[in-house]
């Protein structure tokens, strides 16, 4: 995979400062030389963080306190890509990222703005790497380390941080944890070209076909078992068909062909239906709904008429009572006319024996009141005929509505009774349908045994395809190809190690992809693993040789998913006395043989980078300066961090943000 770093970019938290840009040349060995505590060991964590690591391993302190965003500009087959990720602050990480893509990307001066996420960047990198979407766990064993290969897994062959580069126990980046160690073991056959994407696809197809074959074989076994009672079932079905009214007459002969023919005739004759009309059911339902609406309407009208009858009756009773009251008043006041009709000749009052002369005015008032009452009585006497007419009309309407309501309810009860019969017929029809469906399906299944493309034919085809896949997968050929790939890497590893500072330069070395280490054979043929060898120079040499040999192998592949990028962090540390590691580095204080050994590492890296014609980029972060590796082919100074030169400019440290 083409992925080479063109720049590492740091954006300051103080917006008034210029971003820090560290340039790298593609296709060569880039050396950043510098003293201690200048930021060299932060480069790998920054690159790893921008490539989508789950956690931020950038050292806490000055760098994270001074920077707001970290970024890398990389060159791929799709052009340039700027991958930037926000400094996580008090969190362990953040998924906020910015991705810019173009033929040539312009680095923004201002702080980046989020336009994507870590997961999206990881998917993009998986796509650019051309990784398969299929996992290694085709048998679905629920092994958490057998998932699909990812770009993040391939970085095990790219980074050699300070704690790994000369570690006798750990050969690959992050392989010091169980999770990543198992993932490296899983992905090794894939990156070595033995477990190709096509092979993974075949393994998944094989597993699916095996599951399908097992299912078909269970069906076949069921046929064998069922066939023993097949004839008895045929007889039972014919008997049941007669009970359901689908068949009349005597039972046929108890032979398989006769019984099957009878059942097929029953199924064929019953396809037209079973006497149940869906349209009729819909019509009845519509009529019932209309009757419910009519019943509701008539009930409301009946309620209104009854209320009207109550009102008329109340008014009629009120009029009768009022008329009686007026009659009583008229009777009491009637004597006033008689008294006024008596002669005015000194006649004495027949009631009180008083004089009548002084009572004429009072008698006139009583007579006037009597006239008023008589007028009202006459008016009231006209009301009853009107009320009687209304009462008759309301009574007739009540009778009509009551008859109408009874008629509606009679029709509803009739439909409900018919619906009960319909439901009974539906149940019977459903029983018949289930029976016919069961018989028809059984006849189809048993007839399919001997038909072309039937079960036996399907099993034969599955077995044929499975055999083809087994031949294509050929575990023996896979093991041979894997062994060949490991052998090529091991041979190259041995050659490169001989150019470095190993103790036994002629000893064969072997890459062990199960133990994830290097095995070195002694003169007696015994193989010693890396942790069994002494000397930091041995450990460093085999680390460098293994990574360079693997990268050389990957570059010979047509479409390797592993980035053609390696970063070594301080490989020459094994040659420094402890006192020098705490002070400014001075090449003159190293022994000549140590200088030559260190120079040998740079020479091997430069030779491979040159041999790869610009396809491999190596970055070395080291104390050793140009005096050690100057004038070596393919080796170039990127920057030198000494004096006032740091990864993070000193003027970023104390400025307010």
Q: List pLDDT tens digits, range 550-575.
A: 999 999 998 899 999 999 999 998 88
Task: Determine the 3-state secondary structure of 400 from DSSP.
Answer: helix
Separation between Cα atoms, residue 325 and residue 311, nearest integer Å: 21
For residue range 582-632, list pLDDT tens digits in order.
444 454 555 678 889 999 999 999 999 999 999 999 999 999 889 899 899
pLDDT of residue 397: 83
The per-residue DSSP string of 69-104 comes to EEEEEEEETTEEEEEEEE--TTSS---EEEEEEESS
Could you tell me the pLDDT band of residue 247, with boundaries at 50, 70 and 90? low
pLDDT-derived band at 353 (thresholds 50, 70, 90) equals low
Q: Between these two residues, 194 and 105, which has the higher pLDDT value?
A: 105
Bridge-based pairing state of the strands 116-117 and 635-641:
unpaired
**Region(s) of the chain under CATH 1.10.287.510:** 278-422
Residues of the chain with CATH 3.40.50.300: 3-192+474-652
**Residue 142, both tokens:** 């629920």
The answer to whether 506 touches 498, Cβ cutoff 8 Å, is yes
pLDDT (0 to 100) of residue 63: 93
Q: What is the mean pLDDT of residues 529-533?
A: 92
Check whether 350 has a pLDDT greater than 70: no
Cβ distance 106 to 85 under 8 Å?
no
Tokens of 285: 């339902």
Give the model's pLDDT for residue 77.
94
The CATH number corresponding to 278-422 among 1.10.132.20, 1.10.287.510, 3.40.50.2300, 1.10.3720.10 equals: 1.10.287.510
How does residue 578 score in pLDDT terms, banded at 50, 70 and 90?
Answer: very low
In degrees rounded to 5, what are phi and psi of residue 70? -120, 145
Residue 131 has a pLDDT of 87
Q: 258-285: string of b/e by CB count within 10 Å (b at 16+)?
A: ebbebbeebbeebeeebeeeeeebeebe
Q: What's the pLDDT score for residue 16?
A: 84
Residues 6+ apart with CB under 8 A from 136: 146, 147, 148, 149, 186, 190, 195, 200
pLDDT of residue 563: 97
Closest CA to 388 of 314, 305, 312: 312
Q: How far is Cα 172 from Cα 166, in angstroms, rounded to an integer?
A: 11
pLDDT band at 530; cut points 50, 70, 90: very high
What was the pLDDT predicted at 153? 93
User: Which range among 216-220, 466-470, 526-530 shows the weakest confidence by mean pLDDT?
Assistant: 216-220
In 20-148 the beta strands, taken as DSSP E runs, fall at 20-23, 29-34, 67-76, 79-86, 96-102, 116-117
Residue 580 pLDDT greater than 50, yes or no: no
What is residue 620's three-state secondary structure?
strand
Give me the sheet containing 96-102, strands edge to edge. 20-23, 3-12, 67-76, 79-86, 96-102, 116-117
pLDDT band at 434 (very low <50, low <70, confident <90, very high): confident
* Among 15, 8, 23, 29, CA closest to 565: 29
643: left (phi over 0), alpha (psi -120 to 50) or beta: left
Q: Is pLDDT above 90 for 156?
A: yes
What does the pLDDT average to over 218-238? 69
Point out the least confidently predicted range of 331-340, 375-384, 595-604. 331-340
Question: Within a 10 A sphere around the Cβ of 125, how many other Cβ atoms?
Answer: 25
Lowest mean pLDDT among 230-234, 302-306, 444-448, 527-531: 444-448
Give the pLDDT mean for 111-124. 96
How many Cβ atoms are within 10 Å of 451's Cβ, its own excluded?
Answer: 11
CATH of 3-192+474-652, one of 3.40.50.300, 3.90.1300.10, 3.20.20.80, 3.90.550.10: 3.40.50.300
Average pLDDT of span 400-415: 83
Residues 623 and 33: beta-carbon distance below 8 Å: yes
- Residue (of 166, 29, 24) closest to 544 by Cα position: 166
């Amino acid at each position: 995979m083409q992925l080479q770093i063109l720049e590492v970019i740091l954006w300051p938290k103080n917006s008034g400062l210029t971003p820090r840009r560290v340039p790298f040349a593609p296709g060569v060995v880039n050396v950043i030389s510098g003293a201690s505590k200048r930021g060299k060991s932060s480069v790998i964590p920054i690159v790893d963080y921008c490539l989508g690591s789950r956690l931020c391993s950038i050292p806490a302190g000055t760098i994270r306190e001074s920077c707001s965003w970290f970024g890398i500009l990389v060159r791929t087959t799709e052009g340039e890509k700027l991958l930037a990720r926000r400094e996580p602050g008090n969190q362990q990480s953040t998924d906020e990222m910015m991705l810019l893509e173009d033929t040539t990307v312009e680095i923004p001066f201002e702080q980046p703005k989020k336009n994507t996420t870590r997961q999206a960047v990881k998917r993009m990198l998986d796509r650019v790497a051309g990784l398969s979407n299929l996992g290694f766990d085709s048998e679905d064993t629920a092994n958490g380390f057998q998932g699909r290969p990812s770009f993040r897994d391939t970085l095990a062959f790219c980074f050699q941080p300070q704690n790994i580069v000369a570690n006798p126990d750990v050969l690959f980046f992050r392989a010091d944890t169980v999770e990543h160690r198992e993932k490296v073991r899983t992905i090794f056959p894939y990156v070595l070209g033995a477990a190709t994407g096509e092979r993974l696809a075949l393994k998944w197809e094989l597993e699916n076909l095996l599951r399908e074959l097992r299912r078909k074989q269970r069906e076949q076994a069921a046929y064998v078992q069922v066939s023993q009672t097949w004839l008895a079932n045929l007889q039972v079905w014919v008997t049941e068909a007669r009970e359901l009214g689908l068949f009349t007459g005597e039972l046929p002969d108890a032979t398989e062909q006769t019984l099957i023919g009878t059942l097929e005739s029953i199924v064929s004759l019953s396809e037209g239906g079973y006497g149940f009309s869906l349209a009729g059911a819909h019509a009845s339902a519509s009529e019932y709904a209309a009757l419910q609406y009519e019943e509701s309407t008539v009930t409301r009208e009946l309620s209104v008429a009854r209320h009207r009858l109550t009102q008329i009756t109340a008014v009629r009773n009120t009029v009768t009572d009022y008329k009686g009251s007026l009659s009583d008043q008229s009777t009491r006041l009637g004597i006033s006319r008689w008294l006024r009709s008596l002669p005015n000749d000194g006649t004495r009052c027949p009631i009180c024996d008083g004089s009548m002369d002084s009572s004429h005015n009072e008698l006139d008032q009583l007579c006037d009141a009597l006239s008023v009452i008589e007028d009202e009585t006459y008016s009231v006497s006209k009301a009853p005929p009107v009320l009687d007419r209304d009462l008759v009309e309301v009574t007739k309407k009540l009778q009509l509505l009551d008859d109408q309501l009874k008629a509606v309810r009679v029709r509803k009860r009739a439909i409900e009774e018919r619906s009960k019969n319909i439901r009974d017929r539906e149940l019977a029809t459903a029983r018949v349908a289930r029976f016919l469906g069961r018989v028809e399906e059984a006849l189809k299944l048993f007839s399919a045994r001997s038909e072309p493309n039937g079960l036996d034919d399907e099993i034969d085809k599955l077995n044929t395809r499975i055999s083809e896949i087994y031949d294509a997968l050929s575990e023996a050929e896979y093991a041979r190809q894997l062994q060949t790939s490991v052998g090529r890497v091991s041979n190259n590893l041995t050659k490169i190690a001989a150019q470095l500072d190993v103790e036994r330069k002629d000893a064969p070395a072997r890459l062990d992809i199960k133990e994830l280490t290097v095995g070195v054979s002694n003169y007696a043929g015994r193989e010693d693993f890396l942790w069994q060898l002494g000397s930091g120079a041995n450990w460093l040499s085999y680390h460098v040789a293994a990574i360079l040999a693997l990268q050389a192998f990957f570059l010979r592949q047509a479409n390797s998913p592993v980035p053609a990028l390696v970063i070594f962090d301080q490989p020459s540390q094994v040659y420094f006395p402890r006192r020098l590691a705490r002070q400014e580095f001075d090449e003159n204080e190293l022994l000549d043989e140590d200088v030559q050994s260190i120079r040998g590492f740079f020479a091997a890296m430069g030779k491979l980078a040159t041999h790869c014609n610009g396809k491999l980029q190596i970055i070395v972060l080291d104390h050793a300066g140009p005096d050690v590796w100057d004038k070596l082919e393919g080796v170039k100074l990127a920057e030198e961090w000494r004096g006032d030169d740091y990864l993070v400019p000193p003027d970023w440290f104390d400025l307010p943000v």
